[in-house]
Structure 1
Amino acid sequence: VVLLDEVGLAETSPCNPLKVLHSLLEPSYPATVPTVSVIGISNWRLDNSKSSRALLVQRPQFDLDDLVDTAERLLNKRVMVFQRGALKPLAEAYSNYEKYGQSLPNFHGLRDYYALVKRLSLYEMTPKNIQMALARNFGGTENHVKLCKKYFGNVLKMFNNHKSWLYKQIPIEQLIASNLDDSDARHLMVIGKSDSIVNLLTYQLRMRDLDPVVILGSQFPDDRDDYYYSVLRRIMMCVEAGRPLILTDLEIIYGSLYDLWNQNHIVVGSKENVKYFTRVALGAYSNPML
């Protein structure tokens, strides 16, 4: 059995690598069954030439009950009952924002909602903590004020003695520090138009006695294969050594680090000597990385 995870990413390639699946998804005469079983997992439907040769199973869009049910299972067991009562308004707010409030389509999604619920379960549900959780998990766009007031305003009001919450802009430095000080945080993405962001991140990391490695993407269009592999090898060495990485303008690399961004790790070893591995795509190959 061949399992193709995120096979939809290959669908967008101009080289059309998935065309080799056509002969594998249907038997060749005189065989009556395929020689290889193929399972593909994708965030979107593949084209008809592949879908018509396979059994298509689609997961429907989450409804409100699904969002509430999933959030309940993500909550910390110590969460108080009244906090659980906020899950439905929270799910309604996310659902409305996801459908009607995004200035960039699909910029935020279920991963951000799950991370929001997890963070809220670790702290007291106050308007200040809720706004911080929203800024960290639903930031990156210029409509954060609208997000807090229009879509999550009822949730903020619920934990402010049913009074309107006065929005206060959270400084960028505070958001970055909150992420770096959180051992369970997701990887930090900072969006900006100035190179000063790299200096700001470097300063914040060095304040914590960390020595970051900054890797800048090449602006030359011919820097492809050799450059691609050399940067990936450097990233792997830094991750194995536990050094913080600051990556910028490396769009050709990010897709190869899909499992790393998702923190999809394979745990090996005992409790005293735990090692984490994740997959890194090197061209046609997938290598484990410590």
Structure 2
Amino acid sequence: MVLKVLHPYLDECKVAFVAVANKAFDAANANRMICIYRSLPSAEDQKVLAYGCLGLQLEQGQSTTDNSLDKIIYGLCHGYRQVLRSSDIPHIFHDRDFIYMLRELRFELMNLNETEEANIREITPLSLLRALEDNFNGVRVEEFDRLVDIFATVVGEKCYEFRSLIDEKQQCRRNIPTILRNSMKLASARRRLYGRYKLIIDESNDESAVRLLFQCGILNSDPNQTTVFRMSDFPDDIDNDLRHVEILSNIKLCMETGKTILMINTGRIHGALYDVFNQNFSIMANEESRKTFSKVAIGPKTVDVVVHEDFQCIVHIKRSEFKDIPAPFLSRFQKYSFSISDFYLIQLRELSSEEQKLMRDIEMKTRSFIDHFGKEYFYGFNNDTLYSCLLSLIKRNVQDELYLSNIHENYNQLTIQSKAFIEQDINNKKQCFLFYIISKLLQLASPESMIFKLPTFDESTSRLLCQNYFYQQEHFNIENFLDRLISTSTSVINDNELNMNENIEQKLSNINITKKLMIFTRTSSSIMSLNKQTKNDLFRKNDEYDGMEHVGDKVNIVNLVSHGYD
């Protein structure tokens, strides 16, 4: 369709024209030009490519002792072809991933001295594993293990020491946060040769990976260092060119100042950043300075933008959207998969053996409770729910070390109401954490399910669960619930604590503040019709509790349903 405007120029042969496409043109366009189809590279072509990416001539590899380097390069090429054919590994890798892996190995292979003369060293099993971690990731752990085994087996047929990766990869392999953190901190020389921007594949559907990036220190929450760009899917925003231009202008500013950007749900503007993602840069340098430029399409214009050496880009996508993303887009990035469960297991391994055992016992007992109660009775429960609760118990101190927190560090303005239930025995840390997680799970249960399941527990347990759910949590009155959310209450501090603690305000100030909540409720016309004008009907003054009137002053209602959005 777009090429139709070129027909007169192509017919008259007055304009030189070269087109590169992933698909064949239709007959109307194809018969106006010579079409050349690029076949898959042969084994020999791939070998020549590998030598070029490693900065070698064919003669150099064959001149080494026992032709060992030539054998390794042959194994790498053959291993890559096997990965592409393997049914056990998702077909998300392409020639660009292979090329960047070879570029990374070039740093291990070449020792550049001050005169820039290259001394050929060796490609080691560990350097191969590191290159695979950086360039062939984005798959699940078991799939990556299979990928490493393929390379280790094929290269190991010629160089036996590489077979050690099959058994030793578990001990040598880095976790995803470490890989990503190291890649983000690459020196500029290495980044220019083999560093790519990052693609985060979120295994969850609630953008949990974004929170994990900040939590583990990969991204800095300082707005002077990191900017998050997020686009909505509301109808008025989808085709809002003005909004797109605004976001692209801000991205341009981040590129010039060397910030790190995180792009979430920004697929509609990816085409404008084609050259940036592709790292198709123009360089202007003299004896005093060096500047890098890339093209960005802002509105109807394409402008050259300075790219600061410290600029980093992370694109976030959901695993559920992964299958719809075109292959050329995927190959532009280093790909990493993030999930709550994997991240929890990574942090668990950094705790002491005693704390690890404690957490495993808590997980086992919590799973027993979930199986008995029935996971179908917890709204929104999925495979990551339990791991998310367990992960919240692991904190990081000022020395950047992980530790198992104290129960008092985990209360917020809602869970503090369950303090009496959680701290049945304050000296029993395992029980406190177990009851804390159970209390959080009960927040997801409906009153009907509680009435149905409570008789299945023993009498003492049933009484505790009943008291926590019906008396210490709020499941029946949205006004009371919001009052708990936005107000600081001392109702959970008993008289003894008031007498013992003179500075009760300081104690309350240590409570974590929850700012985001999702409420599961029945369909109600009064709720569905709420807006700014009718909120006073909800937060009406109650004769028994006059303090309720202040809630309406602190609550604003944005009702998307009443505006026609689904």
Aligned counterpart in structure 1 of residue 298 of structure 2, from 279, 282, 287: 282
* Superposed CA offset, 1:103-123 (max 9, x none): 544x21111000111112222
Partner residue of 1:191? 201
2:80 aligned with 1:64 = no
Q: CA deviation at 1:101?
A: 4.3
Structure 1 residues 221 and 140, CA, compared in 2 at 3 Å: closer, same or farther?
A: farther
Q: CA deviation at 1:222?
A: 2.9
CA distance in 1, matches of 2:263, 2:221: 19
Partner residue of 1:136? 134
Query: Aligned residue pairs: how many?
Result: 268
CA distance in 1, matches of 2:39, 2:10: 24
Q: Return the TM-score normalized by structure 1.
A: 0.81
- In structure 1, stretches of 5+ residues that fail to align are 1-15, 27-32
Structure 1 residues 188 and 159, CA, compared in 2 at 3 Å: closer, same or farther?
A: farther
CA distance in 2, matches of 1:230, 1:120: 40
SS in 2 for 1:206: coil
CA distance in 1, matches of 2:181, 2:69: 26
Aligned counterpart in structure 2 of residue 127 of structure 1, from 105, 125, 128: 125
Q: CA deviation at 1:269?
A: 3.3
* Superposition map of 1:16-55 within 5 A: 16-26=1-11, 33-55=12-34
SS in 2 for 1:55: coil
Q: CA deviation at 1:145?
A: 1.6
CA distance in 2, matches of 1:209, 1:155: 46
SS in 2 for 1:56: coil
* Superposed CA offset, 1:28-86 (max 9, x none): xxxxx334332212233222221111111222211111111111111146x98433431
* Superposition map of 1:167-206 within 5 A: 167-168=169-170, 170-183=174-187, 184=191, 185-194=195-204, 195-202=207-214, 203-206=217-220
Partner residue of 1:86? 72
Partner residue of 1:230? 246
CA distance in 1, matches of 2:302, 2:223: 33
* Superposition map of 1:212-223 within 5 A: 212-223=226-237
* Superposed CA offset, 1:101-158 (max 9, x none): 47544x2111100011111222263323222211211111222122112354332673
SS in 1 for 2:202: coil
Q: CA deviation at 1:173?
A: 1.1
Partner residue of 2:93? 108
Structure 1 residues 162 and 108, CA, compared in 2 at 3 Å: closer, same or farther?
A: closer
CA distance in 1, matches of 2:160, 2:294: 40
Structure 1 residues 22 and 229, CA, compared in 2 at 3 Å: closer, same or farther?
A: same
SS in 1 for 2:50: helix
The amino acid across from 2:211 in the alignment is N
**Greater Cα radius of gyration, structure 1 or 2:** 2
* Superposed CA offset, 1:236-286 (max 9, x none): 110011111111211111222111112111112314211111111234432
The amino acid across from 1:109 in the alignment is H
Aligned counterpart in structure 2 of residue 243 of structure 1, from 256, 259, 277: 259
The amino acid across from 2:3 in the alignment is L
Q: Return the TM-score normalized by structure 2.
A: 0.44
**Which stretch has the larger CA shift, 259-268 or 125-134?**
125-134
SS in 1 for 2:149: helix
CA distance in 2, matches of 1:39, 1:284: 22
CA distance in 1, matches of 2:165, 2:225: 43
Partner residue of 1:8? none
Contact 2:282 2:292 in 1 (8 A): yes
- In structure 2, stretches of 5+ residues that fail to align are 109-121, 307-566
The amino acid across from 1:248 in the alignment is I
Partner residue of 2:275? 259
The amino acid across from 1:136 in the alignment is D
Contact 2:226 2:259 in 1 (8 A): yes
What percent identity do the matched residue pairs reach? 24
Q: CA deviation at 1:215?
A: 1.0
SS in 1 for 2:286: coil
